[in-house]
Amino acid sequence: MMLVWFKDNNTQKLIEKDNDVVSWLFYTFFSVFLVLIATVMATWWGTGSAGSGVAEVIGYVNGVNYPLTIDHKTFFTKIVGVVLAVAGGLAVGKEGPLAHIGANVGAKIVSLPTFEFC
């Protein structure tokens, strides 16, 4: 939310100063910068977070050996990457990333040492 506010507020200030080209360049390059960070994170650090996440979670639940689906790097990259991509102006969707994040949270809760099956 703060990233979008920062981008829009500074763009509006530049427009009010009659800097149309500079305001367009700021808006464009700031959006590209946010999306680039999300892309680099998903490509090289948390590679399990690529894609929407629904197909990966369904495959993982059905027994497909996809070890990066449930991982702390995937979890962090999915959260930060979705926030940065949406703030950058991409239409990411909400169902896929939320299902993947929820599966990671559920897997981490079940793997806690104090969690016992009844």
pLDDT band at 93 (very low <50, low <70, confident <90, very high): confident
Q: Which residue has the higher pLDDT, 51 or 25?
A: 25
pTM of the model: 0.88
pLDDT tens, residue by residue, 56-72? 999 999 999 888 999 99
Mean pLDDT of 31-35: 97
pLDDT of residue 113: 83
Mean pLDDT of 94-104: 93
First to last CA, the chain: 41
Residue 1 predicted with pLDDT over 80: no
Distance in angstroms (rounded) separating the CA atoms of residues 99 and 55: 10
Distance in angstroms (rounded) separating the CA atoms of residues 13 and 9: 6
Q: Output the 3-class SS for the chain.
A: CHHHHHHHHHHHHHHHCCCHHHHHHHHHHHHHHHHHHHHHHHHHHCHHHCCCCHHHHHHHHCCCCCCCCCCHHHHHHHHHHHHHHHHCCCCCCCHHHHHHHHHHHHHHHHCCCCCCCC
Phi, psi values for residue 3, rounded to 5°: -65, -45
Q: Say if residues 88 and 32 touch (Cβ distance below 8 Å).
A: yes
pLDDT of residue 117: 64
pLDDT band at 118 (very low <50, low <70, confident <90, very high): low
